[in-house]
C-alpha cells in the first residue's frame, strides 16, 4: 500500500477511547464551523466520533496513522499542497488558538491536557501494522509453507539451517529487526563469499531472525558481517581450508552490557541468547547468502562446535587492562566487534602460580602447542585470561603490553627445536631455520582479552588459522546504528 496523502487544510487524528479527544470534541466541531481552512478528521476507533463533525474518515485500519507517524492523539497537522507544514499534539488552548487562527476556543475547558498514545504505536499492534504497511519495503522472495507442513522440516528440507531448527522469518519479525537500524533494507552491507553475492541489510535481518536474535542485537550483527567479509579477514579462505577454524566474534564497548551479553562465567559456552545468536547469525549469512555450506566449499576435516556460533564480550569492568578495542586504537565509548579466525578452545590449568613470571611461563607453555609445537609464525592465537589469573597480573602491575612482551620472549625458541626431525617428530621447519631464534607468533598475532567467571584458576587458548597474508588477519569494526 502506498502512503495515503493528507488533504490540504487542518487534519485532526483522534480516537474515542482517549479522554483528551473526548474533551476536545466540541472544539473540533466549533473549528469545523468557524475555521477558514478545511478541517478533516480521522478517527482511529469509531468513525462516528466526534459527533456532529461531518465527513469523519474511518482510520480503524490505521493506515493514515501509521504512514504519517501519529504517536499521540489528538494530533493536529497543518497541510499545504499535500505537504505537512507543522503539527501539535495533545490539548493546549494557546497552541490550538494559534494553530487554528481562531479565538475563544474551548472556553470552558482546562488550559492543557496531555494526549494519549496512538493506536498505531500500541505494542500489541505494531508487529501486525509493520507487516501490513511496511512489507512493501521488503524485496526478498516470499516462500509459503503449506498449512500442514512442519515449519522446522520446511527449513531443513531446503538446506537453510545449520543443522539446528531456525525461527521462521515472517514479515513481522523481519520488519521488527529492520526497525533496530537506521540503515535502509536495500542498502548493500557487503559481498559475501564464497559465491560473492551482494548482501543487503534485509538479507542480514532475515538470517538474524532465523538465528533467534532479538532486534537490539542487529547493529552488532551488521558490523560483524561487514568485518567477516573483508579481504583481510578472508572468509572465503576460512571456509575453504580443511582446518578447524570459523569466525569468532568478540564484542567490546557499552553495547555489550546494553544487550545483555555474557563476559563472565561460561562466556565461551551456552546459555546466553545474545552470545549464542549473534555468532549464529553471522554463520547463517555466510551459509544462506554466500553459499558457504559444509561438504561444498566448507571442507573442514573435522570442524568444531564454534562453527555453529562463537561470540562473547570482553569482561571490561574489572579487567586489569584497558579494553581490547582501546588497545587497538578505538575509544572506550565506542562499541566494536572483532572478528578472529578461531580453531577451537584449549583450556589452561594453573592453580599454583602466584607470581606473574610463573604464570606467564605456564601460559606460554600452553601457547607453544597452538596448531603444533613445531609451528612458528604461521598461526595466530587469542589468549583469554580469566579473572583469577588476571588478578595475579593486576597485583604485580603488569599491563597487557608487559604480558605480551614476556610471552613473546618466552615463545621465541631456537630454530633447532622447530626443524623437521627435532625431538623425533618428522613435522617441522626446513633445516635452514636451525640457527635462528624464531617467535611463535607474528607481530600482532597474539591477542589477549579478559573474560570468564571469578571462580577457577583457568584461562583459555583459542588457536587461530594461517595468519596474515597467508590466511586471516583479525578485523575490528565500529558498531553503528
Q: Please give the pLDDT value at position 134.
A: 79
What integer is the mean pLDDT of 173-195?
A: 95
User: Mean pLDDT across the chain, nearest whole number?
Assistant: 95
* Local confidence band at 201 (pLDDT 50, 70, 90 cut-offs): very high
Please write the tens of the pLDDT for every residue from 467-480. 988 899 999 999 99
What integer is the mean pLDDT of 61-75?
A: 97
Long-range interactions of 2-7: CB distance < 8 A, separation 24+? 2/136, 3/67, 3/68, 4/63, 4/64, 4/67, 5/82, 6/40, 6/64, 6/68, 6/77, 6/79, 6/82, 6/84, 7/38, 7/40, 7/79
User: Which of the residue ranges 3-7, 58-62, 87-91, 347-351 would you say has the lowest mean pLDDT?
Assistant: 3-7
Buried b (16+ CB within 10 A) or exposed e, 378-416: bbbbbbbbbbbbbbbbbebebebeebbebbbebbebebe
| C-alpha separations of 111 from 18, 96, 102, 184 in Å | 17, 10, 15, 42
Q: Please give the pLDDT value at position 280.
A: 98
- Before 194, cis peptide (omega within 30)? yes
**To which residue does cell 579466525 refer?**
341
Q: Please give the pLDDT value at position 84.
A: 96
φ and ψ of 115, to 5 deg: -85, -170
Please write the tens of the pLDDT for every residue from 105-163. 998 999 999 999 999 999 999 888 988 887 777 888 888 888 889 999 999 999 999 99
Above pLDDT 90, what percent of the chain? Answer: 92
Q: Please give the pLDDT value at position 1.
A: 64
What integer is the mean pLDDT of 83-109?
A: 95
C-alpha cell at 455: 571462580
What integer is the mean pLDDT of 287-311?
A: 95
Please write the tens of the pLDDT for every residue from 14-56. 999 999 999 999 999 999 999 999 999 999 999 999 999 999 9
C-alpha cell at 315: 569482561
Entry pTM: 0.84
* Local confidence band at 397 (pLDDT 50, 70, 90 cut-offs): very high
What integer is the mean pLDDT of 424-451?
A: 95
CB 77 within 8 A of CB 10: yes
Please write the tens of the pLDDT for every residue from 401-411. 999 999 999 99
Distance (Å, rounded) from C-alpha 158 to C-alpha 112? 59
Kindly list the structural domains of the chain, giving each domain's residue range(s) and its CATH number in brackets, ordered by start: 9-121 (3.40.30.10), 153-478 (no CATH)
Amino acid at each position: 500500500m502506498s502512503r495515503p496523502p493528507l488533504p490540504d487544510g487542518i487534519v485532526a487524528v483522534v480516537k474515542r477511547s482517549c479522554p483528551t479527544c473526548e474533551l476536545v470534541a466540541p472544539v473540533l466541531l466549533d473549528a469545523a464551523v468557524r475555521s477558514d481552512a478545511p478541517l478533516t478528521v480521522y478517527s482511529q476507533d469509531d468513525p462516528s466520533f466526534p459527533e456532529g463533525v461531518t465527513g469523519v474518515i474511518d482510520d480503524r485500519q490505521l493506515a493514515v496513522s501509521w504512514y504519517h507517524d501519529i504517536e499521540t492523539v489528538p494530533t493536529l497537522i497543518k497541510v499545504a499542497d499535500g505537504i505537512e507544514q507543522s503539527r501539535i499534539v495533545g490539548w493546549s488552548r494557546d497552541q490550538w488558538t494559534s494553530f487554528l487562527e481562531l479565538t475563544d476556543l474551548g472556553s470552558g475547558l482546562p488550559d492543557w491536557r496531555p494526549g494519549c498514545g496512538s493506536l498505531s504505536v500500541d505494542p500489541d499492534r505494531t508487529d501486525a501494522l509493520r507487516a501490513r504497511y511496511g512489507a512493501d519495503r521488503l524485496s526478498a522472495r516470499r516462500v509459503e509453507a503449506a498449512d500442514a507442513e512442519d515449519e522446522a522440516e520446511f527449513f531443513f528440507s531446503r538446506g537453510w539451517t545449520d543443522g539446528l531448527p531456525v525461527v521462521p522469518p515472517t514479515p513481522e519479525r523481519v520488519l521488527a529487526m529492520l526497525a533496530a537500524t537506521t540503515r535502509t533494507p536495500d542498502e548493500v552491507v557487503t559481498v559475501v563469499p564464497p559465491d560473492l553475492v551482494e548482501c543487503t541489510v534485509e538479507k542480514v535481518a532475515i538470517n538474524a531472525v532465523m538465528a533467534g536474535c532479538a532486534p537490539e542485537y542487529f547493529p552488532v550483527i551488521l558490523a560483524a558481517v561487514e568485518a567477516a567479509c573483508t579481504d583481510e579477514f578472508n572468509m572465503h579462505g576460512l571456509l575453504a581450508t580443511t582446518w578447524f577454524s570459523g569466525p569468532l566474534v568478540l564484542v567490546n564497548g557499552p553495547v555489550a552490557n546494553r544487550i545483555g551479553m555474557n563476559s563472565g562465567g561460561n562466556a565461551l559456552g551456552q546459555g546466553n541468547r545474545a552470545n549464542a545468536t549473534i555468532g549464529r547469525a553471522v554463520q547463517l549469512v555466510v551459509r544462506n547468502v554466500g553459499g558457504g555450506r559444509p561438504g561444498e566449499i566448507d571442507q573442514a576435516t573435522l570442524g568444531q562446535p564454534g562453527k555453529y556460533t562463537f561470540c562473547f564480550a570482553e569482561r571490561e569492568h574489572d579487567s586489569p587492562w584497558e579494553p581490547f578495542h582501546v588497545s587497538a586504537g578505538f575509544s572506550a565509548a565506542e562499541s566494536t566487534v572483532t572478528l578472529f579466525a578461531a580453531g577451537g578452545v584449549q583450556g589452561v590449568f594453573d592453580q599454583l602460580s602466584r607470581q606473574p613470571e610463573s604464570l606467564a611461563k605456564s601460559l606460554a607453555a600452553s601457547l607453544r602447542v597452538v596448531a603444533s609445537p613445531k609451528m612458528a609464525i604461521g598461526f595466530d592465537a587469542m589468549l583469554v585470561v580469566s579473572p583469577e589469573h588476571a588478578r595475579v597480573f593486576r597485583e604485580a602491575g603488569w599491563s597487557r603490553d608487559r604480558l605480551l612482551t614476556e610471552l613473546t620472549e618466552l615463545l621465541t625458541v631456537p630454530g633447532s627445536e622447530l626443524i623437521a626431525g627435532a625431538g623425533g617428530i618428522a613435522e617441522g621447519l626446513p633445516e635452514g631455520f636451525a640457527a635462528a631464534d624464531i617467535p611463535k607468533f607474528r607481530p600482532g598475532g597474539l591477542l589477549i582479552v579478559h573474560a570468564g567467571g571469578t571462580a577457577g584458576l583457568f584461562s583459555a587458548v583459542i588457536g587461530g588459522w594461517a595468519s596474515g597474508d597467508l590466511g586471516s588477519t583479525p578485523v575490528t569494526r565500529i558498531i553503528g546504528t
